[in-house]
Structure 1
Amino acid sequence: MQQTYQTKPEFLWKKNPTYAVLRHSANQKWYAIVMNVEQAKLGLPGAGQEDILDLKLPPETIANLSEFPEFLPAYHMNKTHWLAVRLAKVERAELAALLAQSYQLTS
């Protein structure tokens, strides 16, 4: 993150110390949030946690990706403009492309 986007994760919440926000240094807009959320809260079966990355994306991209099980409605964000990516289910190259798109959209 730091080399590509000049961003360091920020850990803003005492209640959730592992949740990390990534934001632009110039305008302070968030472009990603890394979280580990209980599967039940995401509408998934099971009692464990799921590592997700919330990204801001165009609504049409969200609509298209929402058809696939690797993507979920954004957790605690506007579901029209944000999408949750199940990190264990998405290839690194696709994740990098989506992260770049979120970064560009919020700059």
Structure 2
Amino acid sequence: MMTKEQAVAYIKSEYGVEADYPWEELDAFVFRHRVSRKWFCLFMDIPANRLGLNEDTIITVINLKAPKSMREDLLREEGIYPAYHMNKQHWISLDLRKANKKMLEVLMDMSFKATGLKKDL
């Protein structure tokens, strides 16, 4: 398991970027590439039922870009869902309460690489 704070710390140390808060009214923030400004990670607090869960709680999810070739396999993993509020063909949502730390790091790395330009990397 990885906490929101641990995930944020990993991103900051690994990619040298700070969180960006594009919406004043939402409890959400993104991480962008320094050069292209493209998002590679979106953190949101949402009702669990938005992911089809039978829960009445607010959870933290991380949206990441995932390779199409891996998407179906990833969706079989506990805590990984079609992306909430993003293109479901290219993005996935991870329930942070259930995210495996190592898998999350690998998926963040893949999302970073999938959304960047060569000069971003």
Q: CA RMSD in A?
A: 1.0
Pairing 1:1-107 to 2, within 5 Å after superposition: 1-16=11-26, 18-107=27-116
Unmatched tracts of structure 2, length 5 or more: 1-10, 117-121
Q: How many pairs does the alignment contain?
A: 106
Instruction: Provide runs of 4+ in structure 1 moved above 4 Å.
Output: none
Percent of aligned pairs with the same amino acid: 28
Amino acid at match of 1:69: E
Give distance in 2, aligned partners of 1:54 and 1:5. 17
Task: State the structure with bigger RCO (CA 8 A, min sep 6), 1 or 2.
Answer: 2
Alpha-carbon distance in structure 2 between the residues aligned to 1:14 and 1:20:
10
CA pair 91-69 structure 1, distance change in 2 beyond 3 A: closer
SS in 1 for 2:31: strand
Q: Deviation per CA, 1:28-76: give whole Å up to 9, x if none.
A: 1110101111011111111101211000011121111111231011011
Q: Which letter does structure 1 place at the counterpart of 2:72?
A: A
TM-score of the two chains, using structure 1 as the length reference: 0.93
Supply the distance in 1 between the matched residues of 2:71 and 2:103 (Cα, whole angstroms). 14
Alpha-carbon distance in structure 2 between the residues aligned to 1:19 and 1:62: 24
Runs of 5+ in structure 1 lacking a partner?
Answer: none
Q: TM-score, normalized by length of structure 2?
A: 0.83
